[in-house]
């Protein structure tokens, strides 16, 4: 048996490590065809920009005591953008994967998204009920923002994996 023949024989042997694709071919086609992909692609950087502005305002308030109203308004805007991207993301998942949330490809990202939303809504509740003093509210906002950064990282990682998968298939 020649070396070339031996190599040919082993090309069909499955590897010990099997990598699950993020998208099937049909899911990838639906992802690429829906306008919700563009909506998510626009909202994600908008949300990140709102986050950065709000983070600066919250930190400014905590460091100087100035700008409470601006910081509070920015957290409320950040919460509104977060809820918008969550709803449109659920619609995107329905179009691409056939279910509104917790599609296997994004299960843990969705789970953590609910924690992020819960922290943001806890801020809104605490603000509206005067459950926390202003400094406490700002620390709660920072906690919500820390969770948001982790969640955003999860999604960026998934986008990177999808891109690598697409490159490997070309």
- In this prediction, residue 63 carries a pLDDT of 98
User: What does the angle CA 38 – CA 42 – CA 43 come to, to the nearest 5 degrees?
Assistant: 115
Residue written as tokens 């070396």?
3
Q: Is the pTM value of this prediction over 0.85?
A: no
Question: Which pLDDT does position 166 carry in this prediction?
Answer: 74
Which pLDDT score, from 0 to 100, does residue 158 have?
85
Q: Residue 135: which of 54, 79, 58, 75 has the closest Cα?
A: 58
Q: What is the pLDDT of residue 7?
A: 41
Please enumerate in sequence order all residues whose Cβ is within 8 A of that of 138, keeping only pairs 6 or more positions apart, or say none.
58, 61, 62, 71
Whether residue 145 contacts residue 51, with contact meaning beta carbons closer than 8 Å, is answered with yes
Cα→Cα distances 2→5, 7, 53, Å: 5, 9, 65
Neighbours of 14 (CB within 10 A): 6
Q: How far apart are CA 46 and CA 127, in angstroms?
A: 24
Question: What parts of the chain have a pLDDT lower than 70?
Answer: 1-20
Give the per-residue pLDDT at 144: 98
pLDDT of residue 20: 63
Which pLDDT belongs to residue 170?
72
Q: What is the per-residue pLDDT for 153?
A: 93
Distance (Å) of CA 78 to CA 56, 109, 128, 131, 144: 13, 19, 16, 20, 10
DSSP 8-class letter at 104: G
């Amino acid at each position: 048996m020649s070396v070339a023949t031996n190599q040919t024989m082993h090309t069909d042997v499955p590897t010990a490590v099997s990598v699950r694709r993020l998208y099937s071919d049909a899911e990838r086609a639906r992802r690429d065809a829906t306008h919700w992909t563009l909506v998510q692609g626009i909202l994600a950087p908008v949300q990140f920009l709102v986050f950065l502005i709000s983070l600066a305002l919250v930190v400014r308030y905590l460091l100087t005591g100035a700008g409470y109203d601006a910081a509070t308004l920015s957290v409320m805007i950040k919460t509104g953008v977060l809820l918008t991207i969550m709803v449109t993301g659920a619609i995107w998942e329905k179009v691409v994967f056939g279910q509104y949330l917790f599609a296997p490809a994004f299960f843990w990202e969705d789970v953590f998204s609910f924690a992020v939303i819960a922290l943001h809504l806890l801020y809104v509740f605490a603000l509206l009920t005067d459950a926390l003093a202003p400094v406490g509210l700002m620390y709660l906002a920072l906690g919500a923002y820390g969770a948001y950064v982790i969640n955003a990282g999860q999604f960026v990682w998934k986008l990177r994996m999808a891109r690598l998968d697409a490159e490997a298939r070309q």
